Amino acid sequence: MDKGFCEIFEVGPRDGLQNEAREIPVAEKIALVDLLSRAGFSRIEVASFVSPKWVPQMAGSAEVLGGIARPTGVRYAALTPNMRGYEDAVAAKAGEIAVFASASEGFSQKNINASIEEAFERFAPILEQARHVDMPVRGYVSCVVKCPYDGAVDPSKVAEVADRLFSMGCYEVSLGDTIGAGTPDTIARMLLAVREAVPVSRLAGHYHDTNGRAMDNIDASLSMGVRVFDAAVGGLGGCPYAPGAAGNVATERVNAHLVGLGYDTGLDQALIEEAAAMARGMRAG
């Protein structure tokens, strides 16, 4: 039964690789992105213009954006935490940028050394600049269920942060279960609150599989109307500032699951499996 289209937003080349201890050569990252481009993704997160001092793995982001094949119909995203990062992303010809906020104060301080309010002040000018050049901006919300520092997060707080991102001009808001603490019940309660503030068609689920519940949380989200999910090929990644965030849900598993449920993803499972093997090989070095 065809249930319509479901999109997977591939975050492996950025969110997946940022934690790896081995310094991965730019050429390997380019090869991974090019393989993913051939697999049929329309959006791939490939770069992060943060200080190399804090995330050394992303130091070659401009070279990656400069070296990839860029077939028609694929948009390459870059994380931009501040104005300098935004300017670097534009110079490197990123197809879209992403800004990130947290639904918990504790994580915001640990992740970007700023309060939630300060984070918004920091990226307000980015959104203003992006609007003038028609640059799409995606917003991320971290710790939408639980924070490693503050504990349980109130769904109303997630809705408030998501609403601000959307109101400021983010075309889509990705909701991150950063430490994989979510259950179908807590994800559903969070989504009930958030979709009151942001249309569900503008929401994405970003679920870590730390506790093996990402698939159940995707199913809960599907029942609430969410049709975009972030995933990292090979199940790589996590967050350097979230203890226990052991891995994004694997793209190859999510795609097989969605197709099995009757959704069209437009992706080539064989090429995704090939990319997953490549990504895991990069981790092993």
Which residues are known catalytic residues?
A: 239
Can you read off the two tokens belonging to residue 76?
A: 């390459």
- For residue 283, what are its two tokens? 């981790």
Q: Report the Cα 27 to chain-centroid distance in Å.
A: 22
Cβ-based neighbours of 208, under 8 Å, separated by 6 or more = 176, 177, 178, 179, 180, 214, 238, 245, 246, 247, 248, 249
- Rounded CA separation 65/95 (Å): 10
Q: Which residues contact 115 (CB under 8 A, 6 or more apart)?
A: 105, 108, 109
* Spatial distance between the Cα atoms of 255 and 264, rounded to a whole number of angstroms: 9
In the chain, helix, strand, coil percent, each to 5?
A: 45, 20, 35
- Kindly state the helix (H) or strand (E) to which residue 165 belongs, with its residue range: helix 155-168
Cβ contact 124:144 at 8 Å: no
